[in-house]
Structure 1
């Protein structure tokens, strides 16, 4: 499904992944900044691997992948997806990865707002989940700022090599949370940044 989402601020769009950005994806997915919270991700990437990943993601029935692109310069900000979509249970997970130079600039807020809006209002999801490492303090802080609820911790669920593991934190948003808490908080934050 080739889908483009317009964000509230208009600074970025979420577009269906294209070959045009494979090289930028390789650079992003090779940065230590990106890899520090993605221990299961390859430590190096090639154009062929980026292409194979893009093709796998775009052909998956339970995934809606996006590339986050600036509207003015057409730069790749990051990648995101609604994944593990379960239409029978009306649930999905959200994932996002940003290039370091775009972190802490409101781009994730804009992108995540657009994705959750699409999930709840267009896809009619009942719940949206986020999984993040216990060490990913910036993401955990963002989720908590947005009113997303910490639902649990999967202890030592993420291998990081040499017999070491990280905990995986599960956050969740229900339809009622989206309407009453999360959506208003994110929209207020986006509007302040404009």
Structure 2
């Protein structure tokens, strides 16, 4: 199913991953900015690896992957997905990674508003979970600003190199949080940026 999500601002769309952006994804997934909080991702990527990853994610029934694309220039801003989808328990995880040149420009807020809207309103999820490194202060700050609740920390859950580990923070948003707190906060923020 090819699913495209229109964002509130209209500056970007969330589209199914396309071969047209594989080379840009290689660059994005090989830069320190994108990798610093993704220790489980390969530190280098080839076009073949990115192509295989795109095809695997498109065929995964428990994942809805997107590329975040500007509507004016069709430039790749980043990637996002609903994953670990459990329809019986009505839960899923959300993940996002942006290209450095688009960070702190409101693109993540717009994309995450659209993807969570889809999760709660179309997929009828009861909860959405975000997992991020304890070191990812920008994402943790964004989640807390949005009204997500820190539900726990998995100590030394993600290996970093051969001798280090980082903690994984788990944030949750319930459907009531989405309607009463998160959605209004994000919409206010997006509307201010317009």
TM-score, normalised with respect to structure 1:
0.99
Aligned to 1:31: 31
What does the per-residue CA deviation read over 1:64-123, in whole Å, with 9 as the maximum and x for residues that have no partner? 000000000000000000000000000000000000000000000000000000000000
Count, aligned residues: 194
Question: Secondary structure at the residue paired with 2:157?
Answer: strand
Aligned to 2:89: 89
Aligned to 2:153: 153
Question: Secondary structure at the residue paired with 2:29?
Answer: helix
Q: Is 1:104 equivalent to 2:104 in the alignment?
A: yes
Q: Is 1:4 equivalent to 2:4 in the alignment?
A: yes
Runs of 4+ in 1 over 3 A off after TM superposition: none
Please give the alpha-carbon distance, in whole angstroms, between the structure 2 residues aligned to 1:84 and 1:173: 15
Question: Secondary structure at the residue paired with 1:9?
Answer: coil
Please give the alpha-carbon distance, in whole angstroms, between the structure 1 residues aligned to 2:2 and 2:132: 27
Please give the alpha-carbon distance, in whole angstroms, between the structure 1 residues aligned to 2:161 and 2:73: 38
Aligned to 1:79: 79
- CA shift, 1:162, in A, is 2.2
What does the per-residue CA deviation read over 1:15-61, in whole Å, with 9 as the maximum and x for residues that have no partner? 00010000000000001000100111111111100000000000000
Question: Secondary structure at the residue paired with 1:50?
Answer: helix
Question: Secondary structure at the residue paired with 2:186?
Answer: helix
Please give the alpha-carbon distance, in whole angstroms, between the structure 1 residues aligned to 2:64 and 2:179: 22
- Specify every segment of 5 or more residues in structure 2 that has no aligned partner in the other structure, as ranges: none
- CA shift, 1:141, in A, is 0.3
Aligned to 2:57: 57
Aligned to 2:70: 70
- Specify every segment of 5 or more residues in structure 1 that has no aligned partner in the other structure, as ranges: none
Q: CA RMSD in A?
A: 0.4
Please give the alpha-carbon distance, in whole angstroms, between the structure 2 residues aligned to 1:17 and 1:2: 9
